[in-house]
Amino acid sequence: MRRDKLKLLPHLFENNKKWAARIRASSPEFFSKLAAQQTPEYLWIGCSDSRVPANEIVGLLPGELFVHRNIANLVIHTDMNCLLVLQYAVDILKIKHVIVCGHYGCGGIKAAMENQPHGLVDNWLRHIRDTWRRNQAELETIPNESERNNRLCELNVLDQVINVGNTTIVQDAWRRGQSTVIHGWIYDLADGLLKDLGMCISSRDELRILQKEK
Ligand code: CO
């Protein structure tokens, strides 16, 4: 490693120093307590989009939110990364609330609906096209393209809530009586506000009902 590399991006290190000092000023024990253990109550599964910063949106500090983010907040049954985060959250941290949070104006959703190729990401976005296909009848009644895409953002959250509920991780947790609630939310980039999509499930029965309604 070249020594001068250490001088790169100095403004970020400057920001970091100020941030840590600010937190220490209001709570001197903050970092030493947090270094000992984390006890977050929530798992956030959201989009990687830089405009949707998980902790800030819900006003939570380091240690309060376990986070997994990927393009278009997808929960794919063969995605080891996402599954391992979920497993650690549920089995080890005993997190009670799993929040799947999409956002309006999601570039992943938009790209999934375009006809031109985008390369590797098209394999990932294929899942969104499947959601679109299953909801084609409803979506085609919406004439405005951005409104149609926004509705698809909501339907995508619904599918991911169902996917979380169907993982062996959550199924096993419910079977052994461990409280695990899955929430479906959407964030609006235009006003910074979250909306609960009313698809909260906490048991296999509720999952079954949600899947039937769909
Ligand atoms: Co997005």
pLDDT in tens, 88-135: 999 999 999 999 999 999 999 999 999 899 999 999 999 999 999 999
Other C-beta atoms closer than 10 Å to the C-beta of 26 total: 7
Using pLDDT thresholds of 50, 70 and 90, give the confidence band for residue 3: low
Distance 186 CA to ligand 1 centre (A): 11
Given this model, what pLDDT does residue 115 score?
A: 87
| Alpha helix ranges (H) inside 27-144 | 30-36, 54-57, 80-87, 107-113, 121-134, 136-139
Task: Tell me the one-letter amino acid at 53.
Answer: P
Using pLDDT thresholds of 50, 70 and 90, give the confidence band for residue 7: confident
Strand locations in 104-201 (E): 181-188, 193-196
Q: How far apart are CA 1 and CA 127, in angstroms?
A: 41
Given this model, what pLDDT does residue 213 score?
A: 82
Distance 119 CA to ligand 1 centre (A): 17
Beta bridge partners of 125: none
Distance 74 CA to ligand 1 centre (A): 10
pLDDT in tens, 141-162: 999 999 999 999 999 999 999 9
Given this model, what pLDDT does residue 68 score?
A: 98
Residue 85 CB partners (closer than 8 Å, separation 6+): 43, 66, 68
Task: Give the residue-averaged pLDDT of 7-23.
Answer: 94
Given this model, what pLDDT does residue 6 score?
A: 66
* Residue 43 exposure: Cα atoms within 13 Å on the Cβ side: 28
Q: How far apart are CA 152 and CA 109, in angstroms?
A: 7
Q: How far apart are CA 13 and CA 15, in angstroms?
A: 5
pLDDT in tens, 55-66: 999 999 999 999
Active-site annotation, residues: 47, 49, 51, 103, 106
Using pLDDT thresholds of 50, 70 and 90, give the confidence band for residue 19: very high
Using pLDDT thresholds of 50, 70 and 90, give the confidence band for residue 5: low
Given this model, what pLDDT does residue 166 score?
A: 98
Cα 47 to Cα 13, 65, 84, 89, 187, distances in angstroms = 25, 15, 17, 18, 10
Q: How far apart are CA 134 and CA 162, in angstroms?
A: 14
Residue 37 CB partners (closer than 8 Å, separation 6+): none
Distance 114 CA to ligand 1 centre (A): 15
Task: Give the residue-averaged pLDDT of 78-97.
Answer: 98
